């Protein structure tokens, strides 16, 4: 089997499949988030401008952290810092800049959307987008595979010798599982089984755990591997501790719960936990 093509030409124009994958993933995230805002009773007319800033800061943060973690690879060829079509975007770096940017912009443009409530609405979108992005991004880029393998499910990737673990596909399946768990927790919260903020804590904790195991078990070691593993475990611990605190805090007394989806009454949504 030949490697998946990572670039093609339309006349003189060179098109990278990795870039197309990222664009489609961002488009999906925007449309899905707008739909979830409306279904939870919030306006979405402010989202367009905010989403532009989210995309820009996500790419800048993701690239910056990757380059810093792998600085030795770019010292001899600094121009490669800009070559994001070759891959090299840190998920933690993207979250580090994009999440605060989105929260600040949402607070200014949609003040009735409280931070914890926003997190619960956004969390399934991020996980679903990550699942799609794994298939449309790293799966279609140079050196997108994991460790070498002789198993039947191994795949060939451009820029890598021999069959590799199809880690992007593994990650897509993992994220789909986290997404389904997040929706289940969301339904329990809406039915009175948990406080606002529980969805984002559960989703981020589980996603962090998958990132640890991805890096530890399947991906080749590089300069940034340890940082990713530590970051993944830190997210998992934060999610577990935060979720336990929210549940214990509400035990034995009335909880302020999220309003059922589709009520169309953001003024009656409860305060953050």
pLDDT digits (tens, 9 = 90+) for 40-87: 999 999 999 999 999 999 988 888 888 887 777 777 777 778 776 666
| Cα 219 from Cα 17, distance rounded (Å) | 22
Cα–Cα–Cα angle for 29, 70, 144, nearest 5°?
Answer: 50
pLDDT score at 87: 63
Task: Find where tokens 């953001």 sit.
Answer: 266
Instruction: Measure Cα distances from 119 to 150, 169, 186, 191 in Å.
Output: 41, 26, 11, 18
Q: What is the distance, to the nearest Å, from the Cα of residue 58 to the centroid of all Cα atoms in its chain?
A: 10
Query: pTM for the full model?
Result: 0.84
pLDDT score at 109: 93
Residue-wise pLDDT for 125-181, tens only, equals 999 999 999 998 777 777 888 999 999 999 999 888 899 999 999 999 999 999 999
φ, ψ of residue 156 to 5 degrees: the values are: -95, 135
pLDDT score at 199: 97
| Cα 84 from Cα 81, distance rounded (Å) | 7
Three-state secondary-structure class, residue 215: helix
Kindly give the interhelix angle for 225-250 and 198-213, rounded to the nearest 10 degrees.
150
Beta-carbon contacts of 59 under 8 Å, excluding residues fewer than 6 positions away, are: 84, 89, 94
Residue/partner pairs of 255-259 with CB below 8 Å, 24 or more apart: 255/192, 255/194, 255/195, 256/195, 256/196, 257/189, 257/190, 257/192, 257/194, 257/195, 257/196, 258/117, 258/120, 258/186, 258/189, 258/190, 258/196, 259/40, 259/41, 259/190
Residue-wise pLDDT for 94-129, tens only, equals 898 999 999 999 999 999 999 999 999 999 999 999
């Amino acid at each position: 089997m030949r490697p998946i093509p990572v670039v093609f030409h339309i006349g003189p124009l060179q098109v990278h499949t990795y870039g197309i994958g990222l664009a489609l993933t961002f488009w999906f995230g925007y449309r899905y988030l707008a739909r979830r805002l409306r279904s939870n009773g919030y306006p979405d007319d402010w989202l367009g401008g905010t989403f532009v800033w989210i995309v820009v800061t996500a790419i800048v943060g993701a690239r910056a952290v990757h380059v810093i973690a792998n600085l030795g690879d770019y010292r001899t060829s600094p121009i490669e810092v800009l070559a994001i079509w070759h891959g090299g975007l840190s998920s933690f770096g993207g979250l580090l800049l994009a999440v605060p940017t989105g929260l600040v912009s949402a607070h200014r443009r949609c003040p009735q959307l409280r931070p914890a409530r926003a997190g619960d609405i956004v969390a399934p979108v991020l996980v679903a987008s990550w699942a799609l992005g794994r298939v449309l991004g790293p799966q279609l880029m140079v050196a997108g595979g994991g460790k070498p393998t002789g198993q039947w499910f191994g795949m060939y990737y451009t820029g890598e010798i021999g069959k590799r673990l199809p880690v992007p596909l593994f990650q897509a399946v993992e994220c789909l599982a986290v997404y389904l768990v997040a929706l289940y927790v969301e339904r329990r919260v809406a039915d009175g089984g948990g406080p606002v903020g529980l969805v984002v804590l559960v989703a981020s904790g589980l996603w962090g755990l998958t990132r640890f195991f991805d890096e530890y078990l399947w991906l080749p070691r590089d300069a940034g591997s340890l940082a990713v593993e530590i970051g993944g475990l830190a997210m998992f611990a934060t999610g577990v501790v935060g979720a336990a605190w929210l549940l214990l805090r509400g035990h034995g007394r009335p909880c302020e719960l999220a309003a059922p989806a589709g009520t169309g009454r953001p003024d009656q949504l409860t305060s953050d936990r």
